[in-house]
Amino acid sequence: MTAYDTNNIFAKILRGELPCSKVYEDEHVFAFLDIMPRVPGHTLVIPKAPARNILDIKPDDYAHVARGAHRIAAAAMQAFKADGITIQQFNEPAGGQVVFHLHMHVMPRHDGVAMLP
Ligand code: 5GP
């Protein structure tokens, strides 16, 4: 597997070198709005630890991301008066990953409303 690239877009966002719409931050994770949202409120949760994807991350760091997604899901249900939540996480190009700093997509959903592809 390719090594973690410290110049990936999300690493730059974490370092404050690129702007983002921050949703949440704690000691372990950072969450911000996706630049091309597939639904309103589409949020990305990333670890502060450098990790390319699930194949690269330590289990404890992955657990922090899962906890962050859990928190964002609950907040998004209320903020967007959602009927459900979709969570996705892609790994390596074959798995659909485009940005190579691990991230979970948290997407509020509404009955009868499709996600953009
Ligand atoms: P994935 O790697 O999970 O397939 O997709 C990467 C996600 O990151 C996409 O949903 C894309 O819209 C989002 N994204 C790519 N570049 C940026 C950026 O510079 N800022 C933000 N906020 N999101 C981005």
pLDDT band per the 50, 70, 90 thresholds, residue 1: confident
Nearest CA to ligand 1 atom 20: 35
Ligand 1 pocket by C-beta < 6 Å: which residues?
9, 20, 32-36, 90, 96-99, 103
- pTM (predicted TM-score): 0.98
Query: 66-94, pLDDT tens digit by residue?
Result: 999 999 999 999 999 999 999 999 999 99
- 3-state DSSP call for residue 45? strand
CB contact at 8 A, 88 and 105: yes
Domain ranges of the chain: 9-109
- For the chain, give the longest Cα–Cα distance: 41
ipTM above 0.95, yes or no: yes
The mean per-residue pLDDT over the stretch 16-30 comes to 98
Tell how far the Cα of 98 is from the centroid of ligand 1, in angstroms: 7
21, 53, 110 from 99: Cα distances, Å: 17, 9, 27
Rounded Cα distance, 23 and 43, in Å: 8
Question: Taking all residues of the chain, what is their mean pLDDT, rounded to a whole number?
Answer: 97
- 13, 44, 86, best to mutate for ligand 1 pocket (most atoms within 8 Å of CB): 44
64 is catalytic: no
Query: Which one of 42, 64, 101, 103 is the catalytic residue?
Result: 103
Q: Regarding the domain delimited by 9-109, which CATH topology (the fold level of the hierarchy) does it fall under?
A: HIT family, subunit A (3.30.428)
Q: Which atom of ligand 1 is nearest to the CA of 90?
A: 3
